[in-house]
């Protein structure tokens, strides 16, 4: 296990009293984050749920916002943009964009764990434009091209 990075966090006024995002167990990959507001999500509805926190993620890292499987399995609650990307230069409030894919209305209450945050390194890249690409076995094949028997 690599040493944890330190992420500066600012508690916003409406985040008063909420727990910091935290790992539920020693081996958890994601830190559970809780809602800072009450929201009733109708079937098919979506909402950017306040968390009450803002961050300064160190350069070279991101936070990925991922759904919780329990909410997904039991209630059809997910994130339409999963994994959400929190940029290192974002200083606004972390919001969790939630969608209700279930058939019943779902009540999110302040303090409920609604998503999990995974800190990850970011490999920066740049493009080099070329006239031709090199040949490969796959070539132009994609979208289910492998393992298809011909004849
Ligand atoms: O689930 C999310 C996703 C994004 N953000 C914030 C942090 C992120 O750094 C910023 C921009 O996100 P993204 O790049 O995914 O959105 P965009 O549609 O490309 O907006 P922008 O033009 O602001 O980058 O919005 C959240 O709070 N929650
Ligand atoms: Mg963007």
Predicted confidence at residue 50, as pLDDT, reads 99
Q: Is 82 in the pocket of ligand 1 (CB under 6 A)?
A: no
DSSP code of 97?
E
Residue 61: CB atoms within 10 A of its CB come to 15
Q: Is 48 in the pocket of ligand 1 (CB under 6 A)?
A: no
- All domains of the chain in start order, with CATH: 10-121 (2.70.40.10)
25-34, 61-70, 141-150: least confidently modelled range: 141-150
- Answer for the pair 77, 6: CB distance below 8 angstroms, yes or no: no
Q: Is 94 in the pocket of ligand 1 (CB under 6 A)?
A: yes
pLDDT in tens, 7-23: 999 999 999 999 999 99
Ligand 1 atom closest to the Cα of residue 65 is: 1
Mean pLDDT computed over 56-75: 98
Residue linked to tokens 């929190």:
86
């Amino acid at each position: 296990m690599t040493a944890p990075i330190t992420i500066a966090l600012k508690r916003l006024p409406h985040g008063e009293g909420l727990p910091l995002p935290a790992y539920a167990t020693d081996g958890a990959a994601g830190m559970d984050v809780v809602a800072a507001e009450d929201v009733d999500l109708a079937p098919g509805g979506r909402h950017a749920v306040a968390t009450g926190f803002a961050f300064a993620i160190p350069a070279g890292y991101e936070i990925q916002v991922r759904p919780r499987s329990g909410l997904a399995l039991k209630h059809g609650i997910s994130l339409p943009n999963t994994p959400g990307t929190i940029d290192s230069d974002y200083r606004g409030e972390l919001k969790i964009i939630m969608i209700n894919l279930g058939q019943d209305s779902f009540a999110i209450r302040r303090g409920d764990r609604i998503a999990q945050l995974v800190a990850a390194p970011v490999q920066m890249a740049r493009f080099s434009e070329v006239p031709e690409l090199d040949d490969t076995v796959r070539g132009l094949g994609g979208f289910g091209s492998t393992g298809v028997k011909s004849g």
